[in-house]
């Protein structure tokens, strides 16, 4: 180890000596040259003209890139808050683009216009309080406007969901999403506990909570109603994920052990978007935007937005967790078992037949 440190010190010492020698040679070269009174900088005009060419070509390139990239922009947002978010984005981009164009134009133009010319004398401003006030106050006003409008939008988007919001849970796992619905009898999700997770009970539903009796899950497609607030309760089962619905401008991290949420109003059904985009195969999609492992690229779920009547009809057709796995009724506390049995009529009928058969014997 000491030997390696010694080698490093020697290398650094050699480099320092080389740098000092180079600096000294440059200083000597500058001192030895006599200035040309007529044209002390022979390449000055060429460099100035290059600045002008770069300015023009640069602006042409930027304009082309903007127009070219617009072909890949997402269509108008399909949610109320999404359009507000887009308006803020383009408002910010407009201000930043104006500032970018003005500042860079002045930098390149002044470099061309005020290149060395015999007889030109530079004017110096040791201090100018009015100028300092202008370039301090104007940016401060612009930044305050951007911050305030952004803060108001963010406060509204992250506010508490309306009381009538449809409550849906979405859980991320390697590598997929599972949606859980509060059923058709109430709008309350049952409790959960990671200790209850097994091959069938992937979300760890706590069957000691009667609100979980009518809950049902769907691991492939999420349905939501249009023109009604939807509250997504978000969590992760293993590692960090992130819920992203690009057409809705919805994005929120799914953090293990720290539930998050996001509410929004989708106001364009899947069918309406197919008509708007001219693509009969269009589907909304939920993806993961947090690298979560080797299968991250395929972590997605189809999202169906439909009118409220169709949504309720779809919900009514779904089997509850207890209907899908009736054997889990054994985990329901005795005092709640009668309530649980209402949600698994088939199992109840089978049990009655079994009792009747036993009695007849």
Per-residue pLDDT tens over the stretch 157-197: 889 999 889 999 999 999 999 999 988 778 889 999 989 99
pTM of the model: 0.76
pLDDT for position 354: 40
- Euclidean distance between CA atoms 276 and 268, whole angstroms: 10
**Per the structure block, which two tokens stand in for 127?**
């201090």
Task: Find the angle CA(230)-CA(235)-CA(237) to the nearest 5 degrees.
Answer: 145
Domain 166-341 has CATH 2.60.40.420: yes
- Euclidean distance between CA atoms 346 and 314, whole angstroms: 20
Q: Are the C-beta atoms of residues 144 and 265 closer than 8 Å to each other?
A: no
Per-residue pLDDT tens over the stretch 276-333: 999 999 999 999 999 999 999 999 999 999 999 999 999 989 999 998 898 888 888 9
Per-residue pLDDT tens over the stretch 114-154: 888 777 777 777 788 888 888 889 889 989 999 999 999 98
Closest CA to 237 of 171, 312, 153, 165: 171
pLDDT for position 27: 63
**Per the structure block, which two tokens stand in for 221?**
């497609």
> Does the pLDDT value for residue 353 go beyond 80?
no
**Could you tell me the residue ranges of all domains in the chain?**
166-341
Long-range contacts of 308-314 (CB under 8 A, 24+ apart): 308/225, 308/226, 308/227, 308/228, 311/223, 311/224, 311/225, 312/184, 312/225, 314/223
Task: Find the angle CA(114)-CA(116)-CA(117) to the nearest 5 degrees.
Answer: 100
Secondary-structure breakdown of the chain: helix, strand, coil percentages, each rounded to the nearest 5: 50, 20, 30
Starting at the edge strand found earlier in the chain, the sheet holding 300-306 runs 221-225, 300-306, 284-288, 241-245, 250-254
CB atoms within 10 A of CB 266: 27
């Amino acid at each position: 180890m000491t030997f390696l440190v010694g080698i490093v010190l020697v290398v650094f010492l050699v480099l320092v000596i080389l740098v000092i020698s180079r600096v000294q040679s440059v200083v000597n070269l500058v001192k030895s040259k006599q200035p040309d009174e007529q044209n002390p900088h022979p390449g000055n005009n060429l460099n100035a003209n290059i600045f002008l060419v770069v300015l023009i070509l640069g602006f042409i390139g930027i304009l082309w890139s903007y127009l070219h990239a617009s072909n890949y922009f997402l269509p108008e947002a399909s949610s109320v808050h999404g359009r507000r978010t887009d308006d803020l984005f383009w408002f910010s981009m407009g201000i930043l683009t104006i500032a970018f164009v003005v500042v860079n134009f002045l930098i390149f133009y002044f470099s061309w216009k005020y290149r060395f010319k015999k007889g030109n004398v530079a004017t110096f401003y040791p201090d100018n309080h009015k100028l300092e006030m202008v370039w301090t106050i104007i940016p401060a006003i612009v930044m305050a406007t951007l911050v305030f409008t952004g803060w108001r939008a963010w406060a509204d988007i992250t506010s508490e969901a309306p009381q009538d919001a449809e409550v849906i849970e979405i859980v991320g796992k390697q590598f997929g999403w599972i949606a859980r619905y509060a059923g058709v009898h109430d709008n309350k999700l049952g409790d959960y506990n990671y200790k209850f997770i097994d091959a069938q009970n992937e979300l760890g539903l706590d069957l000691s909570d009667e609100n979980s009796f009518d809950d049902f899950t769907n691991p492939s497609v999420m349905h939501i109603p249009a023109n009604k607030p939807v509250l997504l309760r978000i969590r992760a089962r293993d590692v960090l994920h992130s819920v992203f619905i690009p057409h809705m401008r919805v994005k929120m991290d799914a953090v293990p052990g720290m539930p998050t949420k996001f509410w929004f109003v989708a106001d364009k059904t899947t069918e309406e978007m197919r008509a708007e985009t001219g693509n009969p195969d269009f589907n909304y999609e939920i993806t993961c935007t947090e690298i979560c492992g080797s299968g991250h690229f395929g972590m997605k779920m189809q999202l169906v937005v439909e009118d409220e009547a169709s949504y309720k009809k779809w919900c009514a057709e779904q089997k509850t967790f207890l209907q899908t796995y009736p054997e889990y009724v054994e985990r329901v506390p005795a005092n709640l078992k009668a309530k649980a049995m209402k949600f698994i009529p088939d199992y109840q009928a089978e049990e009655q037949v079994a009792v009747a058969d036993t009695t007849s014997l």
